[in-house]
Amino acid sequence: MSKTGYTSNEMMVITASRFLKNDAVVFIGIGLPSLAANLARKLHAPNISMIYESGTLDTKPDRPPLSIGDDELSRKALSIVSVPEMFRYWLQGGRIDIGFLGAAQIDRFANINTTVIGDYNYPKIRLPGAGGATEIAGFCTHTLVMLQQTSSNFVNTLDFISSVGFGKEGNSRPKLGFTGKGPQAVITDLGIMEQSPETKELIMTHLHPGVSVEQASESTGWPLKFAESIKTTTVPLEKELSLLRKLEKMMK
């Protein structure tokens, strides 16, 4: 914890949770996205439908799950569907509003690598792979990307394109036939990035309290642009922070 009274991870989770509206149908991976969705559900979005890749439609866990296969998720689900049904009817079928994505690398057009660092055949680091992310990125109406902002994560050129954000030139989605609109925001520990309608690349539209433009620039592997009127993210509210910490404690 820093002198601000909250950690950068907490800032990320709280920022993400604010993006989730009450009626949203949200496709969630484990970790920070799961915390963000559970936080939103307990705060301002009680009717949110949480969908985990393992097959649980509209689950209402009492505690945030430890993995997407946590038995808490299946016990509290409205419906459990098979993996083919999840990927065919619900995801490719275009029935999910928001999908969360993580990344090992991201480029200026919000394309994502979760596959490999280095050469595919002779990898420096073999990552787990994309799993469901490739199609989450394509077929959820919107996506939210969450990751730490460093110059080695935010790169000029991805080692491997695992999932498409806005495509190679920043405008490939229509010709790829995706039903989804792509990343609504990239939420980092430093602020929020969104697509610029002009340059089609990610620009910094919000900085978290206390984060400087220089710090954000140095933590990005390409010449980062900023919105003309850059905003400061609202500092975490007391009720957000205390509930988030309660949720995290339940996971121990």
Partner 1 sequence: MTEFLSLREAVQKYVKPGISVAMEGFTHLIPHAAGLEIIRQKIHNLSLIRMTPDIVYDQMIGMGCADKLMFSWGGNPGVGSLHRLRDAVENNYPHHIEINEHSHAAMANAYVAGASNMPCAIFKGYRGTDYPGVNSDIRFISCPYTGETLTVVPAIKPDLAIIHAQRADKHGNIWMKGIIGIQKEALLAARQSIVTVEEIVDQVNEKQGGTVIPRWAVNVVCCVPKGAFPSYTEGYYNRSNDFYVRWDEISRNRQRFLDWMDRFVLSTIDFSEFMLKLEKQGYV
- Catalogue the active-site residues: 53
The distance of closest approach from Cβ of residue 37 to partner 1 in the complex, given in angstroms and rounded to an integer, is 16
Query: How far is 230 from 213, CA to CA, in rounded Å?
Result: 9
The distance of closest approach from Cβ of residue 49 to partner 1 in the complex, given in angstroms and rounded to an integer, is 6
- Strands 202-207 vs 225-232: parallel, antiparallel or unpaired: parallel
* Segment holding 39, helix H or strand E: helix 32-43
Q: Nearer Cβ to partner 1, position 82 or 152?
A: 82
Nearest to 99 by CA among 153, 49, 148: 49
Q: Are 200 and 183 in contact (CB under 8 A)?
A: no
The distance of closest approach from Cβ of residue 43 to partner 1 in the complex, given in angstroms and rounded to an integer, is 20
Q: Would you tell me which residues interact with partner 1 (CB under 8 A)? A: 23, 25, 30-31, 47, 49, 53-58, 66-71, 73-75, 77-84, 86-89, 91-95, 111, 115, 120-121, 123-135, 138-139, 160-164, 167-168, 172, 176-179
The distance of closest approach from Cβ of residue 42 to partner 1 in the complex, given in angstroms and rounded to an integer, is 18
Q: Nearer Cβ to partner 1, position 94 or 230?
A: 94
Q: Nearer Cβ to partner 1, position 168 or 246?
A: 168
Q: Nearer Cβ to partner 1, position 177 or 223?
A: 177
Q: Nearer Cβ to partner 1, position 128 or 223?
A: 128
Q: Which long-range contacts (CB under 8 A, 24 or more apart) does 177-180 make?
A: 178/138, 178/139, 179/94, 179/138, 179/139, 179/141, 180/94, 180/99, 180/137, 180/138, 180/139, 180/140, 180/141, 180/142, 180/143
Query: How far is 71 from 242, CA to CA, in rounded Å?
Result: 26
The distance of closest approach from Cβ of residue 130 to partner 1 in the complex, given in angstroms and rounded to an integer, is 6
Virtual CA dihedral for 123, 166, 19, 244, nearest 10 degrees?
10
Query: How far is 94 from 99, CA to CA, in rounded Å?
Result: 11
